[in-house]
């Protein structure tokens, strides 16, 4: 009974945390939905830990509790993989941004040099803009 | 210039090279004196070049940000260049620019005006879960806005200066955020929202983005987005 209380309360605190983070726009919708979905599985299980005993039996796992542990680890692994994937995408995007920025800077600097040159020798602009 | 006000047409476009030229051309023909900004959202075709050749200003994003990301850029542009009004139009030719003056006319009394299908004009129809989703969104958002809004996911919208100022600072990139969440957010903060019936045309080219199979998922996500928008501050 005490155990149920501890697990149940943990689940509810997690739920409240996620909802609050979503409410404050600190969490993107897609991640929020992921964790909320998980909690809808976890909270009933934390209140009734024996819920999965039947399924466990069917799969040849000794008890529902160890099945939950196993599934939990698999889920966390999947989340880790997903996050690495997201980070890779982000790295690719910052790389593109840096390139974009460097190209823009090159263009601006070439432009500035050209204008400076023009200010010094208004008559030689043609040559400079082509070769310099 | 429209009625002495500076108007910017913002067109978010992703791989619309086949239609963007005609869309920009038609807008410039129907609405002389307005500026057109095409936000090319990392297209892999010639969208940017075609739009520029048709006489639009083009802002190219280095990679795809989605409609919301493109629109915030558009509103920031409008804000920074001191436009009085901004109208969002789709790049696929579904929105008839001849309705723009109708939308803009209401911007003296309203902050955001939506060009709405299903409001009497045209014969655009949808069925099944997608229709239920749109119905649900319509009921909830009409209640919030205090006006009848029949087409909450329409990408045909006109904003006045007050609205541009807000959208330039805040515009969600999440799924359905650019339509549903912006409406919830604006209505709650006291911005006045109204709709104008418009007839929608068929896409000029390309494929529609929605298949019947996705309709059910759409309903679920619409519900999630709406719930989230309602509990968010
Ligand atoms: N900036 C940007 N624009 C997009 C993106 N996806 C679609 N668009 C543009 O958004 C507008 C609406 O897209 P559509 O695919 O026509 O969506 P819809 O009008 O709701 O649906 P259908 O026309 O029925 O397929 C068009 O101008 C598209 O070019 C994107 O990822 N980024
Ligand atoms: Mg369309």
- What are the tens digits of pLDDT across the range B122-154? 556 667 788 888 889 999 999 999 999 999 989
With a pLDDT cut of 70, the percent of chain B lying above it is 91
Q: Which of A23, A28, A97 sits opposite B174 (nearest CB)?
A: A28
pTM of the predicted protein model: 0.85
Mean pLDDT (chain B) is 90
Where would I find the beta strands (DSSP E) of chain B?
7-13, 35-41, 57-61, 85-88, 112-116, 157-159, 193-197
Instruction: Please tell me if residue A97 touches chain B, with a CB cutoff of 8 Å.
Output: yes
| Cβ pair B29, B61 in contact under 8 A | no
Q: Pick the residue from chain B with its C-alpha nearest to A104.
A: B62
Q: Pick the residue from chain B with its C-alpha nearest to A21.
A: B232
With a pLDDT cut of 90, the percent of chain B lying above it is 68
What are the counts of helices (DSSP H) followed by strands (DSSP E) for chain A? 5, 0
- B144/B163 Cα distance (integer angstroms): 17
CATH classification for the domain delimited by B7-231, as one of 3.40.50.880, 3.20.80.10, 3.40.50.720, 3.90.550.10: 3.90.550.10
Instruction: Check whether A42 has a pLDDT greater than 70.
Output: yes
Q: Is B91 in the pocket of ligand 1 (CB under 6 A)?
A: yes
- What are the tens digits of pLDDT across the range B21-41? 999 999 999 999 999 999 999
Nearest alpha-carbon partner for B117 in B186, B176, B196: B196
With cut-offs at 50, 70 and 90, classify the pLDDT of residue B224: confident
- What are the tens digits of pLDDT across the range A63-114? 877 888 888 899 999 999 999 999 999 999 999 999 999 999 999 999 999 9
Q: Is B210 in the pocket of ligand 1 (CB under 6 A)?
A: yes
Atom 18 in ligand 1: residue holding the nearest Cα? B209
- B149/B157 Cα distance (integer angstroms): 12
Give the residue-averaged pLDDT of A8-23: 88
Chain A CB contacts of B63 under 8 Å are 93, 96
């Amino acid at each position: 009974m005490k155990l149920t209380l501890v697990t149940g309360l943990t689940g509810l605190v997690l739920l409240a945390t996620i909802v609050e983070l979503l409410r404050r726009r600190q969490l993107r919708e897609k991640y929020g939905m992921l964790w909320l979905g998980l909690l809808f599985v976890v909270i009933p299980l934390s209140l009734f830990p024996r819920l999965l005993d039947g399924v466990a039996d069917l799969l040849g796992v000794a008890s529902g509790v160890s099945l939950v542990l196993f599934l939990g680890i698999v889920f966390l692994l999947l989340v880790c993989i997903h996050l690495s994937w997201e980070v890779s995408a982000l790295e690719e995007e910052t790389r593109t941004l840096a390139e974009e920025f460097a190209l823009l800077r090159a263009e601006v600097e070439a432009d500035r040099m050209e204008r400076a040159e023009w200010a010094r020798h208004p008559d030689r602009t043609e040559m400079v803009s082509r070769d310099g | 210039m429209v009625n002495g006000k500076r108007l910017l047409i913002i067109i978010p476009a992703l791989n619309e090279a086949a239609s963007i030229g005609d869309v920009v051309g038609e807008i410039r023909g129907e609405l002389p004196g307005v500026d057109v900004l095409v936000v090319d959202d990392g297209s892999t075709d010639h969208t940017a070049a075609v739009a520029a050749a048709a006489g639009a200003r083009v802002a190219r994003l280095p990679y795809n940000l989605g409609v919301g990301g493109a629109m915030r850029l558009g509103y920031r542009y409008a804000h920074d260049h001191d436009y009085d009004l901004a109208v969002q139009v789709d790049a696929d030719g579904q929105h008839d620019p001849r309705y723009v003056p109708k939308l803009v006319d209401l911007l003296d009394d309203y902050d955001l005006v939506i060009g709405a299908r299903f409001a009497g004009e045209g014969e655009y129809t949808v069925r099944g879960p997608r229709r239920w989703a749109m119905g649900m969104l319509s009921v909830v958002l009409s209640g919030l806005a205090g006006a009848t809004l029949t087409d909450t996911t329409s990408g045909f919208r006109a904003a006045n200066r007050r609205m541009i100022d807000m959208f330039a600072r805040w515009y969600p990139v999440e799924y359905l955020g650019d339509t549903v969440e912006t409406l919830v957010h604006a209505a709650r903060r006291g911005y006045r929202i109204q709709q104008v019936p418009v007839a929608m045309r068929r896409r000029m080219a390309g494929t529609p983005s929605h298949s019947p199979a996705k309709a059910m998922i759409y309903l679920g996500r619409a519900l999630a987005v709406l719930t989230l928008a309602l509990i968010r501050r």
